[in-house]
Structure 1
Amino acid sequence: MYKPYSPEWHRQRNLREALEAYFNEYVDVDVIYNDLLEVIKERSDQAYAEFEHASSLEKKIRRK
């Protein structure tokens, strides 16, 4: 258990509420699994795009 109202507590509460919404709607386990993977992939793609952008800028700066 996390200390009430700590950042960790809020994160766990948000995750619990999201999962409970899936369970309350009787969403198939495979759908939950695929939705989780999609969210992770989207975040990964965004992070990679930011990395590429920063790397491109760094290369340009180093050439000058």
Structure 2
Amino acid sequence: MHPDTHLALHQVRTAGLRAEADAHRLAAAARRPRDLRNLRTRLGWTLVEVGLRLTTPPRTAASVP
């Protein structure tokens, strides 16, 4: 097979694979709404904050002379 023909076939295959990957990426992004991701992020950070508050010792009030 001529090298230029071989290269052209690889380029066509690469373009097809990239298009397929883009289609899968767009379909995956469409499956999960952004609001749900935002809610999950906020819930996750809230749980982290609660966990940190539970593990730190309570502060004692300083006595005023």
TM-score after normalising by structure 1: 0.48
TM-score after normalising by structure 2: 0.48
| More RCO (CA 8 Å, sep 6+) | 1
Question: Based on CA coordinates, which of the two structures has the bigger radius of gyration?
Answer: 2
